[in-house]
Amino acid sequence: MKKMLPLLCVLMAVLIVIISLTTMSFSWFEPGTAQGIGLKFVDSSNIRAEKCEINTFVGSKDQNANSDNFGKINYNNEAVDDQVISNGEVGYYKTVITNNSEIYDTVVSLYLASLSATGDSTTYGLGVASPTNTYRNFNTTKADIHIIRNAYISNENGKRELSVEWFIKCGTGEVRFNPSDIYLMYN
């Protein structure tokens, strides 16, 4: 019996390891929702983003010190053409994402296909003022820059849109982009 005890311990240990690995490996087969105190997981496979559209508007900062809107950004409703932001300038933009589906909520990410920098010494930054508050610096031409990721657009109370206010600040050189290069990725 004393000779069998170490063998039995090793056999039990192997059995426990196999059961643990099997349980963890196949636990993802359980569909639906799992929740507990402080933990909530909701399967979001039913979220669709089929009928979304985007519109981008150019803004300008009110520089009139006597105005009630001093320092606020006013956006126009005109079509946006190619944009050029030069040395020391800031370009202000608002992109409105509209979910035209009357049934489903949606989760989307907003991207800019490319920002072209003229010259190797160009420095610029892209920031988001609303709904998040982020800023990133760049110094070369970039492709597929995210403006906002995983934005949830609810279908509650008939409000089916999200306004994203963002800006490009050029430090040195010149930056160019075309607003038609702004696109959505459906998550």
User: Looking at the predicted structure, is the pLDDT value of residue 45 above 50?
Assistant: no
Q: Measured between alpha carbons, how far is 146 from 137 in angstroms, rounded to an integer?
A: 13
Which residue in this structure is represented by tokens 């995983």?
150
At 44 the pLDDT is: 47
Q: Which of 47-51, 128-132, 172-176, 182-186 has the lowest mean pLDDT?
A: 47-51
**Span 148-162, average pLDDT:** 80
Q: How many residues does the chain have?
A: 187
For 52-186, CATH number? 2.60.120
Average pLDDT, the chain: 78
Verdict on whether the full-model pTM lies above 0.85? no
Q: Answer whether 97's CB lies under 8 Å from 106's CB.
A: no
Backbone angles phi, psi at 139, to 5 degrees: -140, 10
Euclidean distance between CA atoms 18 and 55, whole angstroms:
55
**85 or 155: which leads in pLDDT:** 85
Mind listing the pLDDT tens digit for each residue in 164-187?
Answer: 999 999 888 888 888 778 888 876
pLDDT per residue as tens digits for the range 81-114 = 888 888 889 989 998 888 887 777 888 888 888 8
Neighbours of 158 (CB within 10 A): 6
pLDDT band at 46 (very low <50, low <70, confident <90, very high): very low
Question: Cβ(136)–Cβ(168) under 8 Å?
Answer: no
